[in-house]
Structure 1
Amino acid sequence: MFKKILLPIDPAEPAFADAAIEKAVTFAKDYGAKIHLVAVCPEVQTFVASQLPEGFQEKEVAETRSTLDEIIAKMGLAGGVVDSQVRIGSVYHEVLEEAQAADCDLILMTSHKPGLSTYFIGSNAAHIVRHAPCSVMVLR
């Protein structure tokens, strides 16, 4: 079925991805798929960075890596089945680039409750669905 699954994780709400993690683990066990986690930290603009403590962005990235490592440990899969990447930028842009760079054939993600402008799925999920280089499964 799928060989490599990209699983975006929101570093601010890692538990929000629990349903997607569970589905990805099932795919890994049933079909021998590999899982590639990606978390995107928002880029801190220069004018904002001057007001933050020195090394703020680096600390945020390190904490996000730690969060991904904890998620991987809880998945209970054999070594080499799951890897991860932390990127900096806008969520949908970085997820799309990572899907292509990691040669993923499925993006498996959850979607936040949408507002009126994105009635069926959240805005990041909508961008990813429209522009993905591979199949996308959105869990609500």
Structure 2
Amino acid sequence: MRRDTQLILCPVNLRHAKANFNAYDEAVAMAKRRGAKLLLATIAPEMERNLNVHDSVAYWTQQLRTFVAEHPADGVALETVVRTGAVHRQIVKLASERNVDVIVMESANPKVQDYLLGTTASHVVTHARCSVFVVRGQDVT
């Protein structure tokens, strides 16, 4: 029996200026097809590398707003959230707290030959209670 999808979580890593956002594009398309709400999240580090960032949550909230403005999710109900901590743990925790139906995320380190998935994606797939859709980057060889 097919479950209705009401909430899709899409974590995005905004730390890479030239990042590929294939998972975000897929999550938006999936939300449109399923009539679901999209929960877009970014996880801020507990200790910023750049010591000029005094309020990490405020900084990453603004970065996430900028991202949404540059990549609109037309026709999709969208909510943003910023968390701090270990990325893999915060994704699983957020999905559980919000009763997410599916997580759509990128696979990290696609050039590392020893891993099928990146370590964050591996942890989320293993520990999330919901389905996880892992999007491979274009650079996979």
| Fold conserved between structures, TM > 0.5 | yes
Identify unmatched segments of 5+ residues in structure 1: none
Match of 1:88 in 2: 84
Q: Which residue in the other structure is 2:10 paired with?
A: 7
Residue 20 of structure 1: how far off its partner (Å): 1.1
CA gap 1:124/1:76 in 2 versus in 1, 3 angstroms: closer
The TM-score normalised by the length of structure 1 is 0.81
The match for 2:34 is: 31
Provide the TM-score with structure 2 as the length reference.
0.80
- What secondary structure sits across from 2:19 in the alignment? helix
Identify the structure with the greater helix proportion.
Answer: 1
- Give the fraction of aligned pairs with identical amino acids, expressed as a percent: 31
Q: CA deviation at 1:44?
A: 1.7
Q: 1:42 Cα deviation (Å)?
A: 1.2
Of the three residues 73, 77, 93, the one matched with 2:74 is: 77
Check whether the contact 1:36–1:84 (CA below 8 A) recurs between aligned residues. Answer: yes
Match of 1:64 among 60, 84, 88: 60
Q: Secondary structure at the match of 1:16?
A: coil
**Which residue number corresponds to residue 131 of structure 1?**
127
Runs of 4+ aligned residues of structure 1 deviating over 4 Å after TM superposition are none
Alignment-mate amino acid for residue 78 of structure 2 = V
Q: 23-32 or 93-102, which moves further after superposition? A: 23-32
96, 106, 109: which one pairs with 1:110?
106
What do residues 52-88 of structure 1 show as CA deviations (whole Å, max 9, x unaligned)? 45xx341x32221122112323224247x00011111
Counterpart pick for 2:94 among 83, 86, 98: 98
Q: Distance in 1 between matches of 2:105 and 2:17?
A: 12
**Residue type of the partner of 2:66?**
E
